[in-house]
Structure 1
Amino acid sequence: MFDMTWTGRVRFGAGVSAQVGELLRSLGAERVVVVTDENMERLGTADRICAHLEAAEVHSCVFAGVEPEPSVETTDAVAELAREHDCQAVVGLGGGSCMDVAKAVSILITNQGSAAAYQGQGLVKVPGVPKVMIPTTAGTGSEVTSTAVLSRKGDGFKGSISDDRLRPDYSFLDPELTFTMPPKVTASTGMDALVHALEGYTGRQASPFSDLFAREALTRIGKWLRIATWNGKDLEARSEMLLASFYAGVTLANAGVGACHALAYPLGGSFGVGHGCCNALMLPYVVRYNVPARSDRYAQAAAWLGLGTEGWPDREAALACAEGLEDLVEDLSLPRKLSALKAGIEEKHFDALAEVALGMADFLENNPRPLDKKACIVLYKEAF
């Protein structure tokens, strides 16, 4: 038995973001807030989207101050801006951080209080205003999920607002908007998508439904991530990776993630290392740890990734999956060791990092092989 979760309406294709104004106008929205970051403002992408809105007589106010690790305080500020301008819809433009804030703002317009009051499971009482996501990276899958991960500047807490009312109503997947991603961002977000698909496929919550999307994501990532990283103007590669990110997001939304995410989150929260980079670094070590529990699934994943392991015994193919992932990380010029991050991480920090990782109970319960504190520390040491 399993449940299936789906997102709202999705439009995919080169140039489809030009339709955002027409869509919002058809919903009766006359004023919207565009939630984005300084990169989208600097590159002119925000102006481009606002021009599409104005052409449809939809007036916009822009907040371009979303941080890489978005905060409750920033989200509250955007919500106040949206209320002041009587905004009737929200557009999230950018990577996962921008989309997470946009989703949270949509419910803060109609609910009282700070975003902090809704960090938890199912705490949103009133549906939000319509929310439209326009991803400009290919990895987070935030255009699919019903969560918004936010930190609190006051106490350093980092947690999710998790509620079906955060699920986007519409998403525009326009590969042309991903042309501006530099190689490092392409690589790290692409690896984030890979981890979503692989952890969903090998996790305890996997289902025949999520498996379909995991397969499509892994097959595309294995073929196209290197090309998209090093030839960023290749429209086919960008299109396939944006689709892969979406499919991996559907996998994540239905099957969850596992130990790699649990171990990666405290590295980002404590040392400011990018989420995709942390996932990419920890993944081969977690795969090796998990092989005894799900060698069959890792063997299948190796084949989908194009590692040439068809016909191999499951255990050999599963271990080759870990090796292939290490090669991929190296080909993408992403760091393979914690000591190479230059972020101040030392072995003395592993105990505290492991404690935080153990707090990610949902992730660890979904992992195919149980982890305790000792196992977490061993994995950090192996990755160091």
Structure 2
Amino acid sequence: MHKNFKNIDKIVYGKGAFNQIDDILAPKRDENDKFMVFIVDKYFEGKKLADRIPAHDGDMVFFEDIDQYEPTTDQVDRLRDQILAEKGLPSGIIGIGGGSIMDIAKALSLMVTNEGSSQLYQGLNLVKKAGIYHMGVPTVAGTGAECSMTAVLTGPVKKLGLKCDWTVFNQAVLDPELLATVDTNQWFYTGMDCYIHCIEAESGLYFNAYSKAYGDQALALCREVYLGDNAGQNLENDEKLMIASLFGGLSLTYSEVGACHAISYGLSKILGTRHGFANCLAFYHLEEFYGDAVGEFKEMIKKHNVDLPQGLSKEWSEETIDAMVEVSYNLPHMWNHAIGLDWEEKWTREDIKKIFKRL
């Protein structure tokens, strides 16, 4: 059966689009218990952007620290319990930050209407009730979280997304001026998440014309940003990268990620490695899956003087590597795409372990 996926209801794009948030939220403020919740990357606390957040009296603003780890089920559960206990059911959830903040906002919009821990809903179409209105305002570009139907969370057992039609944002606000504060390493690693999404989408079982149309354009924009005559961090490239992120996410929606993300999830779950960085660590060593794209990726690393560490596995115990292998192996949808529906006959835990030992 073909996918019948839900896209973002509304998108506003352009320099200064952030200033429209208050007007966009106004018609929603009378819903539920008549207050908004802003989930904001802690990086912006005390900075100029924090002063621009259009919070009204009675709204709740949380500056969430995601610098050292991926968003967790415990984090979402804590926020949900505090909001419901103190104020009731919000009119809406607004996420302002990178992919992790986007995922927290998406998950939180579902969990305020669903009982129990968010651990119960890690998987496809496990959410029982529709969530509430939610808006995504990305301040980095590359993850595609602004348009995906997945809110990726790390739980005690697994790293996996809450994935259903209700996860998708009702509104995305894409303002390329917000990317100006991104440091060089984050700009590279997050942008590479988009590049890798597109390469993975086209390198497996589920690739199709719909995915190709968005993916080709996203890859062209990534190549301009990272390898073009005007390569580097500037407003023109920020505009391109923001659209590349959106298109890369849409390409992925109708295809799938593969071996790189499976390895990346093992790194993130066991070591707490940030997602974009983990993807880069893995992709560097996956020529058997991605061919010439790995060479192009290495060219981008060299051009932007990115110091991607090597030899990390020398410091890992066998127990640590085995734990990462187990996380990666138990992502069959990714291996289906990368290797085929008979992947378990062709691919073993030992094969995955060999990849980790290259890192």
TM-score bracket, shorter-length normalisation? 0.7 to 0.9
Q: Partner letter of residue 349 of structure 2? A: K
Equivalent residue number for residue 269 of structure 2: 269
Kindly report which structure 2 residues correspond to 1:1-384, keeping only aligned pairs within 5 A, or say none: 2-3=2-3, 5=5, 6-29=7-30, 30-50=34-54, 53-54=55-56, 60-67=59-66, 68-83=69-84, 84-86=86-88, 87-152=90-155, 155=156, 157-225=158-226, 231-232=232-233, 234-286=234-286, 288-290=287-289, 319-339=291-311, 344-345=315-316, 349-368=320-339, 370=343, 371-381=347-357, 383-384=358-359
Q: CA deviation at 1:76?
A: 1.5
TM (norm. structure 2) is 0.88
> Once superposed, what is the RMSD of the aligned Cα atoms?
2.5
Quote the Cα distance in structure 1 between the aligned partners of 2:229 and 2:121: 37
Deviates more, 1:215-224 or 1:370-379: 370-379
Measured in 1, the distance between the counterparts of 2:183 and 2:326 equals 34
- Counting aligned pairs with the same residue, the percent is 27
Structure 1 residue 341: Cα displacement: 8.8
Provide the secondary structure at the position in 1 that maps to 2:285: helix
SS at match of 1:321: helix
Q: Deviations over 1:90-109 (max 9, x none)?
A: 00110111111111111122
Q: Which amino acid aligns with 2:351?
A: A
CA distance in 2, matches of 1:226, 1:36: 32
User: 1:237 Cα shift?
Assistant: 0.5
* Inter-CA distance 17–116: structure 2 relative to 1 (3 Å threshold): same
What letter matches 1:326 in structure 2? K
The whole-number CA distance in structure 2 between the counterparts of 1:70 and 1:217 is 26
SS in structure 1 at match of 2:206 = coil
Counterparts of 2:274 and 2:231 in 1: how far apart (Å)?
A: 20
Which amino acid in the other structure matches residue 269 of structure 1?
Answer: K
Q: Report if the CA contact (8 A) 1:14-1:175 is conserved.
A: yes
Q: Which amino acid in structure 1 is aligned with residue 338 of structure 2?
A: N
Deviation for aligned residue 1:280: 1.4
Q: Distance in 2 between matches of 1:202 and 1:231?
A: 27
The change in CA–CA distance for 1:192 and 1:228 in structure 2 (over 3 A counts) is: farther
| SS of the residue 1:354 aligns to | helix
Give, as a single letter, the amino acid of the residue that structure 2 aligns with 1:365.
Answer: N
Distance 2:293 2:248 in 1: 18
Structure-2 change in CA distance of 1:350 and 1:374 (3 Å): same
Query: 2 CA distance for matches of 1:99 and 1:279?
Result: 18
* Counterpart AA for 1:85: K
Change over 3 Å in CA distance of 1:167–1:18 after alignment to 2:
same
Residue 66 of structure 1, CA deviation: 4.1
Matched residues, number: 346
Matched residue SS, 2:146: coil
Query: How far does residue 245 in structure 1 lie from its aligned partner after superposition?
Result: 0.7
Q: Which amino acid aligns with 1:210?
A: S
- Note the C-alpha offset of 1:89: 0.4
Ranges in structure 1 where 5+ consecutive residues have no aligned partner: 292-318
TM-superposed CA distance for 1:59, in Å, is 5.0
Cα distance in 2 for residues equivalent to 1:211 and 1:227? 22
TM-score normalised per structure 1: 0.83
Contact 2:225 2:237 in 1 (8 A): yes
Asked whether the equivalents of residues 145 and 249 of structure 2 are also in contact (C-alpha less than 8 Å), the reply is: yes
Equivalents in 2 of 1:122, 1:229: separation in Å? 43
CA distance in 2, matches of 1:229, 1:269: 37
